[in-house]
C-alpha cells in the first residue's frame, strides 16, 4: 500500500518537529507556515514548501495542523486560500491545535461537506517527547477514521487514545489536562514560597521536591526552568493562559484552582512576560506580592 502524503500546517516548536518526524519516517511531506522562513528552514530535509494551506491540502492525503488558537485555526481552514478549498473525498484533517471544542466541531462539519473527515488530535508532552515521537495524542472523532490514519499518528506519539466519536472530545480532555498543568505549577510556586520563608533556597527546594511524590512528568521538566530558563521556550505563559481560559470558561464555576491560575497568568501577560516559558507561572505564584495579597 502506498504511504499517504502528509501536509503539516503550522511550523512552530511542535509543528516543525512533526514535519521532521514524518520526513525521517520516509513520508512525502508538504509544509506551510504563515512566516515562510520557518518553512524554508526545513527544506534541507526534502520537504516541499507550499504557498498556501489550500495548495498543501490539494497535494496531501492527511493534513496535520498545529496553530495558535481558535481564530488562527478558523482562518487557516476557511480563509480564501484555506485548507477547505483543497479538500476532497477520502482526505483526512487531523488538527493538533489546542482550540475551543465547539470551534473544532463546526470546522469538522465543513470538512465533511467536502467529503473529507476531521479529527481533533491535541497532544500532551514536552518538545523532547515530540522529537522522539513519544507524545500522547487525545483523539476526538470517528474511531474508524482514526484506525485508517493510526500508522501516521503513531509517528508522533506512542499513545494514540480515542476519547469519543464526537468531534471536540479530544480537546475537552486536553483542556482538562492543561488546567491541571496550571494548577500544579501554582502549587509548586507556593511550595517554593513556603520553603523560602524558612531560608530554604529555590535550588534546594526544587531538588528535594523533584524527588518526592508530587513530581509529575510536567513538573519534572518544567520546574527546573525556574532556576535556568531553557534555550528554546517549550510553551509560553500566554499559550498556557489561552488554554486555561478556554477551560475555565467551560467549567461552570467549578474550576477554582484553574481560575486562580488564570488570574496569575493574566498578571504575567499584563506585565509583558507572556512570551516567557510557562514556568513563569511558578515564579509568579512564588512571589512575595502574591503571598502578601489580602485575604478576601
**Residue 10 scores a pLDDT above 50:** yes
What is the spatial distance between Cα 223 and Cα 73, in angstroms, rounded to a whole number? 30
SS3 content of the chain, % helix, strand, coil (to 5): 50, 15, 35
Supply the pLDDT for residue 291.
46
Q: What is the DSSP letter of 266?
A: H
Q: What is the mean pLDDT of residues 39-52?
A: 95
Sign of CA dihedral 47, 103, 74, 87: positive
Predicted confidence band at 290 (pLDDT cuts at 50, 70, 90)? low
Supply the pLDDT for residue 98.
98
pLDDT digits (tens, 9 = 90+) for 17-33: 999 999 999 999 999 99
Predicted confidence band at 235 (pLDDT cuts at 50, 70, 90)? very high
Q: Are strands 6-9 and 29-32 parallel, antiparallel or unpaired?
A: parallel
Residues of the chain with CATH 1.10.1040.10: 172-291
The reported pTM is 0.94
What is the spatial distance between Cα 77 and Cα 64, in angstroms, rounded to a whole number? 12
Least confident segment among 48-52, 116-120, 121-125, 284-288: 284-288
Supply the pLDDT for residue 289.
63
The percentage of the chain sitting over the pLDDT mark of 70, rounded to a whole number, equals 97
Class of domain 6-166: alpha beta
Residues of the chain with CATH 3.40.50.720: 6-166
Query: 53, 34, 30, 27: which is closest to 42 by C-alpha?
Result: 30
Let me know if 128 is exposed, middle or buried by CB neighbors in 10 A (0-12, 13-18, 19+). Answer: exposed
Predicted confidence band at 156 (pLDDT cuts at 50, 70, 90)? very high
Q: What is the mean pLDDT of residues 58-79?
A: 98
CATH number for the segment(s) 172-291: 1.10.1040.10
Could you give the C-alpha distances from 116 to 37, 85, 89, 144, in angstroms and in order?
Answer: 30, 11, 5, 13
Amino acid at each position: 500500500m502506498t504511504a499517504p502524503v502528509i501536509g503539516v500546517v503550522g511550523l512552530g516548536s511542535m509543528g516543525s518537529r512533526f514535519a521532521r518526524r514524518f520526513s525521517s519516517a520516509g513520508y512525502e511531506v508538504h509544509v506551510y507556515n504563515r512566516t515562510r522562513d520557518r518553512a524554508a528552514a526545513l527544506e534541507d530535509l526534502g520537504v516541499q514548501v507550499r504557498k498556501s494551506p489550500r495548495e498543501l491540502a490539494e497535494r496531501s492525503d492527511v493534513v496535520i495542523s498545529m496553530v495558535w488558537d481558535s481564530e488562527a485555526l478558523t482562518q487557516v481552514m476557511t480563509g480564501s486560500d484555506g485548507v477547505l478549498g483543497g479538500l476532497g473525498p477520502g482526505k483526512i484533517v487531523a488538527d493538533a491545535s489546542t482550540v475551543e471544542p465547539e470551534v473544532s466541531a463546526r470546522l469538522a462539519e465543513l470538512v465533511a461537506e467536502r467529503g473529507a473527515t476531521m479529527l481533533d488530535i491535541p497532544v500532551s508532552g514536552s518538545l523532547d517527547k515530540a522529537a522522539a515521537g513519544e507524545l500522547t495524542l487525545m483523539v476526538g472523532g470517528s474511531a474508524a477514521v482514526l484506525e485508517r490514519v493510526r500508522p501516521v499518528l503513531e509517528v508522533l506519539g506512542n499513545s494514540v487514545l480515542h476519547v469519543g466519536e464526537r468531534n471536540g472530545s479530544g480537546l475537552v480532555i486536553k483542556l482538562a489536562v492543561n488546567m491541571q498543568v496550571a494548577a500544579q505549577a501554582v502549587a509548586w510556586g507556593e511550595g517554593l514560597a513556603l520553603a523560602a520563608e524558612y531560608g530554604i533556597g529555590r535550588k534546594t527546594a526544587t531538588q528535594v521536591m523533584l524527588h518526592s511524590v508530587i513530581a509529575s512528568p510536567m513538573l519534572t521538566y518544567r520546574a527546573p526552568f525556574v532556576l535556568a530558563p531553557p534555550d528554546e521556550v517549550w510553551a509560553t505563559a500566554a499559550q498556557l493562559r489561552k488554554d486555561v481560559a478556554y477551560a475555565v470558561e467551560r467549567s461552570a464555576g467549578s474550576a477554582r484552582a484553574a481560575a486562580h491560575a488564570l488570574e496569575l497568568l493574566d498578571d504575567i501577560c499584563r506585565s509583558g512576560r507572556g512570551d516567557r516559558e510557562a514556568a513563569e507561572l511558578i515564579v509568579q505564584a512564588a512571589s512575595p506580592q502574591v503571598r502578601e495579597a489580602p485575604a478576601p
